[in-house]
Amino acid sequence: MSALNPRIRFFVIIGISVFVIVGFGWYNYGILSEIKSAEGITSGLDRELRVQDQVRQNIVDAQTRRGDMLSSLDHDVVHSSREYELAAVTMRDLAKKHDIVVLNLNLRSSDTFPPLNQYTKVKQVPLERQRIDLRLNGEFLNIGPFFDAVEKQIKSVNLHSYKFSLDPNAAKKVIAEVVYYTYRMEQES
């Protein structure tokens, strides 16, 4: 038995070594599968965080664009009845400058906007659309430069419509019925 003794010892050591290596591999395989599943979960969470960050960035961008649009809109609207009336006075002065007689100037300060606020869910639209009706008498070729002068000098009014008819009392003159819109905005605090 002593001749087999080193051989048995060798096989026992090899068996124990194989058993330890297999046990160690099996243990590490379980840990590696847990690591893989944890990596899958973290990559999914990372993707979700990126999507949520993009949504947050889109909201911030939309708020910034809204602020920019409101600040740029601030130059093209009136904020008080005084500015609205001042625009009408400036139109009358421009008409005189272009040899046009103002037959009628009607300020309609009531809001002519469609009911936008009944459809908004987030915030009320702070705009009102007001109308300036003009009835002008002058030469046809003076009316166009008058429109251009109003557009250049009064940024807060927009030409909505116009209608020409011949003046029955003067051969070279026309009567123009013109509608301008201006927008009044309450300043946000």
**Local mean pLDDT, 10-residue blocks, the chain (189 residues):** 71 87 80 83 89 88 80 61 77 88 77 59 67 86 87 82 85 86 68
Which pLDDT score is estimated for 120? 59
Tens digit of each residue's pLDDT (9 = 90 or more) over 123-178: 665 677 778 888 889 888 888 888 888 888 887 788 888 888 888 887 788 888 98
Same domain, 93 and 44: no
Which pLDDT score is estimated for 70? 66
Cα-Cα-Cα-Cα dihedral sign, residues 127, 129, 130, 134: positive
State the Cα–Cα distance between residues 165 and 131, nearest whole angstrom.
21
Domain end residue (candidates: 76, 93, 126): 76
State the Cα–Cα distance between residues 112 and 188, nearest whole angstrom.
21
Measure the CA angle with vertex 39, ends 33 and 42; round to 5°: 145
Same domain, 123 and 155: yes
Domain end residue (candidates: 31, 49, 76): 76
Which pLDDT score is estimated for 124? 63
Question: Looking at residue 101, which CATH number applies to its domain?
Answer: 3.30.70.60
Which pLDDT score is estimated for 123? 63
The token pair at 42 is 């973290």
Same domain, 67 and 107: no
Same domain, 12 and 94: no
Which pLDDT score is estimated for 74? 58
Same domain, 95 and 54: no
Same domain, 14 and 97: no
Q: Domain range for residue 139?
A: 78-185
From the CA atom positions of the chain, what is the Rg in Å? 40
Which pLDDT score is estimated for 18? 87
Same domain, 103 and 66: no
Same domain, 71 and 113: no
Same domain, 30 and 3: yes
Same domain, 86 and 167: yes
Q: Tell me how many domains the chain contains.
A: 2
Q: What is this structure's pTM?
A: 0.55
